[in-house]
Amino acid sequence: MYARTVKGRVLTFGVSGKLVRNSLIMYDRETHSLWSHLTGGAIEGALRGAQLRMVTATQTTWAAWRRAHPETQVLPHDYPNQTDAYASYFRRGDAGILGRKRDDHRLPAKARVLGVRILDHPKAYSLDVVRRAGVVNDTFIEVPLVVLATADESAAIFRRDIDGKTLTFAAGPSGTVVDQQTGTTWESVTGRATSGPLLGKSLTPVPATDSFWFGWFDFFPGTLLYS
């Protein structure tokens, strides 16, 4: 997810129908520049070289989100006879229409990963690994991070330092996590403390990209992979 204000101007985006390394390319209606949805950068047109600012977002199940945010309103999204045109694409193990530009066999091509970039250094976390662990404590480029499973195939990343103290987390009951330093209980979806000494505090979310492994590695070939 990106903020769509560039150089003080609010842009509106559409789908160009083009692909770069199997990645969808957007265009903005104001300048007709082309943008990579994976990097948020303008690759062609008047705004070439400009960069959209990443904002944090949470991918999870509706049930988990509703528990954390019961006041949420949602646009209608289900229609009679609705089908997923990409269902067969997700089932196949191939690397998409254009194939891979770079091969990396640390994960299957369509393994889902959560990718982060800190000071332009990329790192990826396998969603299967995060799901099995429930909680991943890590440090990357001297930034203490925690990756929390928010559903079977989704996760969220937060900084795990708060008020000058670095916390270490472990899985708790019903989708919660508990820090070992204070015993505070936290929501995995929101990063919000729900009980304990740090009640009312919130972890700082880290912008991240949910991607197929082949797509992430094609754009960031030097990426580290958590293992």
pTM metric for this prediction: 0.85
- Do the beta carbons of residue 114 and residue 24 sit within 8 Å? no
Among the listed residues 227, 205, 225, the one whose alpha carbon sits nearest the alpha carbon of residue 213: 225
CA–CA gap between residue 99 and residue 148 (Å, rounded): 31
> What residues are paired with 166 via a beta bridge?
161
CA–CA gap between residue 217 and residue 227 (Å, rounded): 16
Q: How does pLDDT run along the chain (227 residues), one tens digit per residue?
A: 999 999 999 999 999 989 888 788 999 999 999 999 989 999 999 999 999 998 888 888 888 888 888 998 888 777 777 787 778 877 887 777 766 677 788 999 889 999 999 998 999 999 999 999 999 999 999 999 999 998 877 899 999 999 999 999 999 887 789 999 999 999 999 999 999 999 999 999 999 999 999 889 988 988 999 98
What residues have CB less than 8 Å from 84, skipping those under 6 apart?
90
